[in-house]
Amino acid sequence: MSLPHGSAKVDAILFDLDDVLVPFLTPAAWQWAWRPQGPILGERRVRAAVRRSLKAWDRRRWRGLTGREPPADLAALRDHLRATLTAIAGHALPDIETEAVVRRILHPAGDVERFPDVDPALARLRTASVRIGIVTPLPADSARWLLHRVGIDPNLLLSTGDTDRPVPDPAGFRSATHALGLEPGQVALVGDLFWSDVRAGARAGLPAILLDRHDAWPKVQSGRITSLDGLEASLAAGGLAPESEGDPVEVGE
């Protein structure tokens, strides 16, 4: 079966993993990774730092995609996490402490937070016989562990940061859609970054939906949802319309 997408239909949904299906850069995650014994980090400060850092990471990945910088690999992801920690702390930490925190963020342990809208959304897709795939810039072992902890089949994982050309590279999207047995136009992407997830997906031919859980892109007028409860309605409305290439400014900011 398929889901309506404007005047067409899609047969599968390709989800970004981190902060779409599984909470990742949350205040609780940073508390565990940096200050497990306290003091308690200010939630508002952490969320604001994460929001700013995610937008910088979005720009970095987009510049890598468009050739302005080298592609954003796992080393670039670690740089992003180091910068986020500095923003949360308000100052640079010693290298050995920073590396330990980044390592714990990338290799979590113990309990994992959950988004309450994920299980119902996946259940609706299964009921509609819509295929599901998952992509992420995270290392494969971390991604599989996170999925296992929240009860999502790790076999749905189609692309990770360990692969030669991970998303947002068009080859990464093509590999994921082919693994689903479909062409890009038959697969809708759901991501949480405006440029390097949904715009990059649209650039590769995938209909795209922005899941803006962090309320980082309030100016986006179409194809933006804040919960997976609105996924099918946003798809039916046509999702995010393709735009010409450019720098991530204005509507994305």
DSSP notation for the chain: --EEETTEEESEEEEE-BTTTB--S-HHHHHHHH-TTSPPPPHHHHHHHHHHHHHHHHHHHHHHHTTSS----HHHHHHHHHHHHHHHHTSPPPHHHHHHHHHHHHS--S-----TTHHHHHHHHHHTT-EEEEE-SS-HHHHHHHHHHHT--GGGEEE-TTSSS-TTSHHHHHHHHHHTTS-GGGEEEEES-IIIIIIHHHHTT--EEEE-TT---TT--SSEESSGGGHHHHHHTT-BPP-----S-GGG-
pLDDT at 248: 45
Q: Residue 188's closest CA among 67, 20, 23, 71?
A: 20
Average pLDDT on 134-140 reads: 97
Q: Is the pLDDT assigned to residue 247 strictly greater than 50? A: no
pLDDT at 241: 52
pLDDT at 7: 60
pLDDT at 123: 97
Residue 1 confidence class, pLDDT cut points 50, 70, 90: low
Average pLDDT on 209-236 reads: 91
Report percent pLDDT > 90 for the chain.
Answer: 83
Q: Is the pLDDT assigned to residue 251 strictly greater than 50? A: no
Q: Is the pLDDT assigned to residue 109 strictly greater than 60? A: yes
Q: Is the pLDDT assigned to residue 249 strictly greater than 70? A: no
Q: Give tens-digit pLDDT for 167-222.
A: 999 999 999 999 999 999 999 999 999 999 999 999 999 999 999 998 888 888 88
Q: Does domain 3-23+113-252 have CATH number 3.40.50.1000?
A: yes
Average pLDDT on 18-32 reads: 95
pLDDT at 152: 97
pLDDT at 215: 86
Q: What distance in Å separates the CA atoms of residue 98 and residue 93, rounded to the nearest whole number?
A: 6
Please state the domain extents for the chain.
3-23+113-252, 27-106
Q: Residue 11's closest CA among 19, 2, 20?
A: 2
Q: Is the pLDDT assigned to residue 232 strictly greater than 90? A: yes
Residue 246 confidence class, pLDDT cut points 50, 70, 90: very low
Q: Is the pLDDT assigned to residue 38 strictly greater than 90? A: yes
Residue 250 confidence class, pLDDT cut points 50, 70, 90: very low
pLDDT at 222: 84
pLDDT at 26: 94
